Amino acid sequence: MVLDFSLTLHFLHLLVVSGYEWEVPKSVLWWALQVASASLMVGVGTWACRWRELRPIPFGSGGSGGVGGGTVGDSGGAYEMVRMKEEDI
């Protein structure tokens, strides 16, 4: 989605500039700036999405503070599985 969004935004910018000037830009500097800008947007946007999506989900353990029962940022072993009580047979 990051690639699609950033390239679509740059394509719309090309259309606006071309419509305003009534010609496609011919400057090599303009095209180099657009390629650098698109590359930067894709690179940083992809990194930010991965960083955001790959963070652990804080389920919490006990306490109050939402559906999971913990607070955001609670990292005191909240992500580890807890042993269940063994039933006597």
Domain-wise residue ranges, the chain: 2-53
Give the whole-angstrom CA distance, residue 14 versus residue 10. 6
pLDDT value at residue 66: 47
pLDDT in tens, 30-68: 889 889 988 898 888 888 888 777 777 777 655 444 444
Confidence (pTM): 0.51
Q: What is the percentage of the chain residues whose pLDDT exceeds 90?
A: 4
Report how far apart, in Å, the C-alpha atoms of 83 and of each of 80, 86 are: 10, 9
Quote the mean pLDDT of the chain: 74
pLDDT value at residue 78: 55
Query: What phi-psi label fits residue 27: left (phi over 0), alpha (psi between -120 and 50 degrees) or beta?
Result: beta
